[in-house]
Structure 1
Amino acid sequence: MRGAFSKARKVTSNENALYKLETVRDEDWDFLIWISSQMKWEIYAYLFIVIWNNTEFGEDRMFEFREETMSMIRYVRKLNKSMCIDDRKAKEFINLFNDYRDYRIDNYFAERNRLITFVLRELEAHGLKNKSDFYEQLKVLPMKQKKKLRDIVIDRMKVLIDMTPYNDKSLMNSGKNDKNNLKDELDALKNEKDILCEQIFELQKENSKYQAAHGNLTNLGFSDEDPNNIFWLNKDIKNLQDLLGDFTLVSGPEYEIDVTKCNELLSFYKCNNVEVESQHGKQILSAALQRLTIETIIAETKNFFLTNSLTIEANLVTKTKEIVDLANLFTKEYAENDEIAKAIPTKIRQQVHSMLGSYAFSYDEHPLLKKISEIVLEKLNQYRKVIDDDSEEDNEIIPIIRKIVQLFFYRLEAHPIIPAYNFYENGTEINPLFMESAGTKSKDMKKLEVEICSFPVIAIFDTDNDKSDNVFSKALIIPKTKSNNNTSLETAITTPNE
């Protein structure tokens, strides 16, 4: 391969940046090809640190930095649990991420520079050429491009993690990969990418027509870059589902379950005749704990707002509702035929809830996060306990609570038509429009019904016809063979503000 990253043209003295992205030659993009072709997770781990080291941040990016670092640590732990790497290597990389986080936040410049020198040397050993040119180019990239580069690294890391079902203990012993399975996995990912690209293209066309017809003043949709755009919202929901799945694990020597209590929980969700100590039973139990976690957080958040109505978040929502109601009355009285005036109440609601969905409860010591984390952990510990001394449950639950509150109380409310959400009950007929189950083929759906629903469907429903105008996220379910007394499709829905 030619130099993985050749130097760009220097800019004249009256320009600020030393390098310009527009002047990078075709060969310079060999570096991006090099990134996308890598199959070693270690390279993405090192790249993650190097990119962040060239990203300036204050309080506004501190939370993003912490959360992304925790995600990378979580991926390393997954590799370790799936027996792809040994304990020594897992500890080595976890320490690397923790050290960089601490050096960066606490401004230990000397230690941080030594760590970066080590990381760049490792990247060079893995095939990166002209590392100094690459490092200089990173410095002048705009923040948006640095963010997209980090997204690529994190997404590729997740793709490699998703392939770990093939990387069992036998692979550690033999050191050989199943090439056929890997090829199938890559082909499936390519097909999924093509489908997503087509969907994005159609959404962009639809959005363009909408904006052209109504103009910016009456446009209630979201731009492609807006975090509440359905594409990015769905991506964040998938991330939340992954966090919940990790947090509610019950398989492994580090977990101890109370069989009696767990049977009571499964009975509450009408999951009868489940052998809770079997592998399948533990999957159902984990799904039940995920649903319990979501329901508890939503219920306790409502209670918190009722008893703490003067907090800035609760007060902002209350005052916004008052203004929106008054604006609707005014429009109806004086400007019923003015499309711009009629859009203003909805735009006010959207803007306020969009802001809250991005920034509410950003610091970990917020009273709501602390109180609900104690309640959730106490409730889950009735059913399963983590006996690992190095458990970080207290730290892991905080971002989960934050994401659930921001999603169900604010981000859904930011949409022109507010989506509803619903958990499907045991025995409900499976509808592929609203539900999905890992490993279940569409042709088998008619023979199955819901055993447990771990994450609710989020959609704009047409309740008269059991259809949906727009599904934001399908319900996650574990199916079972149909019984004789299965129920019809549940159409009861819950809106975020109920």
Structure 2
Amino acid sequence: MLVVLLDEFTSVKGKDVSINEEAANELLLHYKCVMRVKEGKGKPVLSAALQRLILEELFRLISEYSFQSKFENQQQSPLSHEHSQPQQEVDQQEVDQQDPETSPRLSPIPEAYTIKVDDNILEAEIATSMKVLCDLVKQLSESRKGTDDITNLTPINIRQQVFAALGTRGFCNDKHPFIDQLTDAILKTAGKYRQFKSKEKQTESHERAAKIAKEIALLYFRLLAQEPVPEFTEFFEAGTPLQNNIMEGTWDDYEIHDLEVEICSFPLVSIKDKDNSRKVLYKGVVLTRQNNINPA
């Protein structure tokens, strides 16, 4: 679904598309591609390069969003929000304070509380609070004696459950500000290299960009819910020899030794074991070229 959306969005074919050849060729040069856009040639490579550029930008923006606290007081822990306490508990605290004979004791957990979080940044605050809680539990495991396994596993379980929830329900409201931000970033990035002449195509492009933004954000959270967390930002560079076990594209087995990567449009998603062996979840998507060709 996501790969298809990216293919459709980055398509530069058709009379309705205007390509900025100078900018496009600079992008291909940046990725060390041999092919250049000229007289209708090089469009598939440009499309693949746009996919990679968009994904790299989205991964960066989502990473910053997920682990950057948005609280007004940056020195305040996300877990220490002001909350309203039940009146019964407040009254009991007043009694305790008035009685000097009362021995110190732990306050009971409030039966109800309200955390003041802007709904527009709810997903970011959940991710930030999760990180703080995991760090605190890790500190507990390191600073308190014990031989149990549950304390060491708790941060992993918290991360998995929180990111699984975010990967399921995150950004499901219409017109979520962060999805709008990602959508604008996609359109701005692609707009440097190609433009649509008709209003209909522009509207269609905007709708696809919004779908891509949401799909990538949810995929990001779902991947972080795995244990161990997969590597999912690994793009094969131009000139890399082809490998059937970790790459997919169009070639025949007999010619694999004569070809190499021209551009990788979708990253390899894999889990590395302690012995450096890989479990491949998604192969990297690549376009090929004849090997031993030096980029211009």
TM-score range, shorter chain: 0.7 to 0.9
Match of 2:200, SS?
A: coil
> For the residues of structure 2 that align with 1:462 and 1:428, how far apart are their CA atoms?
23
Q: Which amino acid aligns with 1:398?
A: A
> For the residues of structure 2 that align with 1:252 and 1:388, how far apart are their CA atoms?
12
Residue 397 in structure 1 maps to residue 193 in structure 2: no
What's the offset of the Cα at 1:484?
6.2
Residue 262 in structure 1 maps to residue 262 in structure 2: no
What's the offset of the Cα at 1:250?
0.6
Residues 427-482 of structure 1: per-residue CA shift (max 9 Å, x gap) = 11222221111x312342222111000000010125875x41x1110100001111
Bigger proportion of residues as helix: 1
Equivalent residue number for residue 123 of structure 2: 313
Equivalent residue number for residue 475 of structure 1: 284
Superposed, 1:42-57 pairs within 5 Å as none
> For the residues of structure 2 that align with 1:257 and 1:274, how far apart are their CA atoms?
12
What's the offset of the Cα at 1:273?
4.2
Whether contact under 8 Å (1:313, 1:356) holds in the other structure is yes
Whether contact under 8 Å (1:364, 1:398) holds in the other structure is no
Whether contact under 8 Å (2:67, 2:127) holds in the other structure is no
Residues 218-238 of structure 1: per-residue CA shift (max 9 Å, x gap) = xxxxxxxxxxxxxxxxxxxxx
Whether contact under 8 Å (1:259, 1:277) holds in the other structure is no
TM-score w.r.t. the length of structure 1 is 0.46
Q: Pick from 230, 246, 253 the counterpart of residue 8 of structure 2.
A: 246
Q: Which amino acid aligns with 2:165?
A: M
**Does the C-alpha gap of structure 1 residues 386 and 314 become closer, same or farther in structure 2, counting only changes over 3 Å?**
same
What's the offset of the Cα at 1:335?
6.9
Equivalent residue number for residue 295 of structure 1: 56
> For the residues of structure 1 that align with 2:58 and 2:38, how far apart are their CA atoms?
24
**Does the C-alpha gap of structure 1 residues 464 and 485 become closer, same or farther in structure 2, counting only changes over 3 Å?**
farther
Q: Pick from 272, 284, 289 the counterpart of residue 45 of structure 2.
A: 284
Residue 427 in structure 1 maps to residue 239 in structure 2: yes
> For the residues of structure 1 that align with 2:9 and 2:22, how far apart are their CA atoms?
21
Bigger proportion of residues as strand: 2
Match of 1:390, SS?
A: helix
Q: Which amino acid aligns with 2:45?
A: I
> For the residues of structure 1 that align with 2:146 and 2:39, how far apart are their CA atoms?
62
Equivalent residue number for residue 71 of structure 1: none
**Does the C-alpha gap of structure 1 residues 415 and 306 become closer, same or farther in structure 2, counting only changes over 3 Å?**
closer
Q: Which amino acid aligns with 2:253?
A: S
Superposed, 1:120-159 pairs within 5 Å as none
Q: How many residues align?
A: 243
Residue 368 in structure 1 maps to residue 130 in structure 2: no
Whether contact under 8 Å (1:361, 1:369) holds in the other structure is yes
Residue 445 in structure 1 maps to residue 256 in structure 2: yes
> For the residues of structure 2 that align with 1:453 and 1:286, how far apart are their CA atoms?
11
> For the residues of structure 2 that align with 1:484 and 1:257, how far apart are their CA atoms?
26
Q: Pick from 132, 138, 141 the counterpart of residue 331 of structure 1.
A: 141
Residues 400-446 of structure 1: per-residue CA shift (max 9 Å, x gap) = 011112222x1111011000120111111222221111x31234222
Whether contact under 8 Å (1:364, 1:370) holds in the other structure is no
Whether contact under 8 Å (1:426, 1:452) holds in the other structure is yes
What's the offset of the Cα at 1:275?
4.1
What's the offset of the Cα at 1:346?
1.1
Q: Which amino acid aligns with 1:478?
A: L
Residues 214-259 of structure 1: per-residue CA shift (max 9 Å, x gap) = xxxxxxxxxxxxxxxxxxxxxxxxx111110111111112211111
Q: Which amino acid aligns with 1:365?
A: K
Match of 1:460, SS?
A: strand
TM-score w.r.t. the length of structure 2 is 0.75
> For the residues of structure 2 that align with 1:386 and 1:274, how far apart are their CA atoms?
21
What's the offset of the Cα at 1:339?
3.2
Residue 414 in structure 1 maps to residue 225 in structure 2: yes
**Does the C-alpha gap of structure 1 residues 362 and 476 become closer, same or farther in structure 2, counting only changes over 3 Å?**
same
Whether contact under 8 Å (2:69, 2:128) holds in the other structure is no
What's the offset of the Cα at 1:323?
1.4
Q: Which runs of 5+ in 1 are unaligned?
A: 1-238, 487-498
Residues 371-428 of structure 1: per-residue CA shift (max 9 Å, x gap) = 22222212211211122331222221111011112222x1111011000120111111
Higher relative contact order (CA 8 A, sep 6+): 2
Whether contact under 8 Å (1:262, 1:276) holds in the other structure is no
Q: Which runs of 5+ in 2 are unaligned?
A: 72-120
